Structure 1
């Protein structure tokens, strides 16, 4: 057995300092591991919160009117329209449906205050405002100089709405959902 009385005092100091350095390194590594774990937990909490908030928005979709038999009259009249399905259990608010016909350099917006939950799509026809931005494709001009719009079923439709938490969402004309900026 080692008798500490036979070890020179400078050796005890070196051993003590070595033990202290190792303890400090171990504490630093433990702290770094703790910070990393805390950051991972925060990211996981944020992802769960985002998933909860996105849950309602993922159940809301819009598309251009295309079912000819059901909506023949609206299509024949040249009225643009869209179907919106809110399959979530809660209503969505301040809905904006944006129609686009890029070849005609035309867009329009229809505003709806509330779309309640429903398994069946609701039909919204017409628009509240329109804009002509850019130059239409020359093939889209009628003989009288007016612009020929695509049938409603061929237009691009985008939807923006607020969920029950007040968060604004946007589903683009390709169906991609994102938080509206």
Structure 2
């Protein structure tokens, strides 16, 4: 077949159809590229999040309770907690929150830094305390003062910043989350 025998309008139709198909193929390719790019971005963010969470996973706090080791602090009624930073990097702007719900009492201890260590570090005392609500009646002493539970029975939570400055919080049940 000689292209000279084909009417010019037919060549225009065939050429137009080819251009439309090429445009559609380009659009589909672009959408596939955007989808793949978005998936790669989400995967990168997930890897970064996992890396950031790795340090935070290795930090924990709990109320002091080993009577033999901490006898003096417990006898004096000092509130205390053990912190274990098993990560290879220090944590910063640490805040330990103690709670005794039955006494309607809470206290906070602020620490600038907790260095990495294979052993827990003990921190006793607090920087500020608050009383909210009304204590349970059986927790009120005859003189009107409120009887706190021993340190080992208190609820303890910790919040801190990792080496990248991201703030984390581990609640009194041990659940780790990004702090807001």
SS in 2 for 1:62: strand
Alignment-derived partner of residue 143 in structure 1: 142
SS in 1 for 2:54: helix
SS in 2 for 1:134: coil
Q: 1:109 & 1:179 partners in 2: Cα distance?
A: 19
Unaligned runs of 5+ in 1: none
Q: TM-score with structure 1 length normalisation?
A: 0.91
Q: 2:20 & 2:3 partners in 1: Cα distance?
A: 21
Alignment-derived partner of residue 96 in structure 1: 95
How much has 1:147 moved relative to structure 2? 1.2
**Number of equivalences:** 180
Could you report, residue by residue, the CA deviation over 1:112-166 in whole angstroms, capped at 9, with x for unpaired residues? 2221111110111111110001222223212221112122112111111222222
Q: Which runs of 4+ in 1 moved over 4 A?
A: none
* Residue 154 (1) aligns with residue 153 (2): yes
Q: 1:152 & 1:6 partners in 2: Cα distance?
A: 99
Q: 2:129 & 2:97 partners in 1: Cα distance?
A: 9
How much has 1:53 moved relative to structure 2? 2.1
Q: 2:35 & 2:102 partners in 1: Cα distance?
A: 52
Alignment-derived partner of residue 35 in structure 1: 34
Alignment-derived partner of residue 18 in structure 1: 17
How much has 1:179 moved relative to structure 2? 2.3
Q: 1:6 & 1:101 partners in 2: Cα distance?
A: 96
Could you report, residue by residue, the CA deviation over 1:31-64 in whole angstroms, capped at 9, with x for unpaired residues? 0011111111111222222222222221111011
Q: 1:12 & 1:134 partners in 2: Cα distance?
A: 87
Unaligned runs of 5+ in 2: none
Alignment-derived partner of residue 46 in structure 1: 45
